[in-house]
Amino acid sequence: MDMDADWRLPRPNVPLKVGRRPKGSTLSKIDSIASTFSLLATPLVAEAVERARELSTESDAEGFHQLRVALRKLRALYWAYSPYLGEEATTQASEEFRRLAAVAGETRDWDIAGDLLRVAQHSRASLALLVSAAQDKRAQAVLDSRTLLNSDTVEPFLNDALLRAQTALQACCNDLPIQAFAEERVRLAQRAFMKRSKRTARSETAHEEELHDVRKAGKKLRYLLEFFEPVIKGGHGRAIKALTSVQDTLGQFNDIAASATLIRGESFSAVPPEVVQESLQWLEKQKWRRMRAAARQVRALCA
């Protein structure tokens, strides 16, 4: 579910009412649909809130990345429970998770672009000006992210979204067991992933949009397998490992494609246009090489 509109952040900080288990406990097949949502969502919300707090004083790239990961996992989790949460509630929460993840990702994107440009600089000394400009863009992205990811607004929103979802689920599926539901949601995610993978495998030439679709579908499937592995039938460790490997390759391609898009969409007043163009040409070559590698791995997965 990919939506771009914003959801107005609620101001009041609503305290969470979450039943807690002993540390280290996992999901059980006898748990209800409602209780498993709380067990899975609560640590993700806590992680996102903690990362947002840390970013008010720190600018570590890993902190931005982990915040984005937590928000992406929340989107996948809300998709999984959407049959009981309802389309409107799922859409509203997912839109805001997506927006916040994009804000967190801006700094991370400049980190990745800067790293790629420094690699290119080894053989293209003229890119030094662009590397410096990318560092300035990264610094501005940190300031923007800190403003938009203020924990005084992010924390109330996440707490409120979690409490609303818990209330809705407890009202309709507090007594329904999780196993059959979890297996069905994983099955749907797997079907979507394989459909996109087979479409890519049939293509003689790798297409950027198709690979992006495979990457997003694979990420959702992997998150769901990780969420529900304790309660669904069969061992899924091998599938998670295979998906992680494919995601790594697709992620390398995506980093280059996203960096090219980022640089192409920015203005660099202190950098000659021909230098920017030189960087884009280098990134384009790297992108096609990564695309071919990603397409080969997807085909191997479908064989």
pLDDT in tens, 210-255: 999 999 999 999 999 999 999 988 777 888 888 888 888 899 989 9
Rounded to whole angstroms, the Cα distance separating 164 from 175 reads 18
> Quick one: pLDDT at residue 200?
87
Alpha helices in the chain (DSSP H): 33-54, 61-80, 82-85, 87-121, 128-148, 151-173, 179-202, 208-228, 237-264, 273-302
Rounded to whole angstroms, the Cα distance separating 296 from 40 reads 34
> Quick one: pLDDT at residue 14?
35
Q: Which residues contact 215 (CB under 8 A, 6 or more apart)?
A: 247, 250, 251, 254
Report pLDDT digits (tens) over 47-105: 999 999 988 888 788 888 899 999 999 999 999 999 999 999 999 999 999 999 999 88
Encoded amino acid at 152, one letter: D
What angle, 0 to 180 degrees and rounded to 10, lies between the N-to-C axes of helices 273-302 and 208-228? 60
Task: Tell me the percentage of the chain whose pLDDT exceeds 70.
Answer: 92
Neighbour count for residue 56 (Cβ, 10 Å):
12
Query: Which residue shows structure tokens 């952040």?
Result: 9
> Quick one: pLDDT at residue 152?
85
Mind giving me the DSSP string for 196-250? HHHHHHH-SS--HHHHHHHHHHHHHHHHHHHHHTTTSSS--HHHHHHHHHHHHHH
Q: Is the pLDDT of residue 149 over 50?
A: yes
- What are the structural domain ranges in the chain? 32-129+138-176, 177-303
Nearest to 45, CA basis, from 71, 27, 25:
71
Nearest to 214, CA basis, from 185, 254, 261:
254
Q: How confident is the model at residue 37 (pLDDT cuts 50, 70, 90)?
A: very high
CATH class of 32-129+138-176: mainly alpha
Neighbour count for residue 6 (Cβ, 10 Å):
12
Q: Which residues pair with 32 in a beta bridge?
A: 177
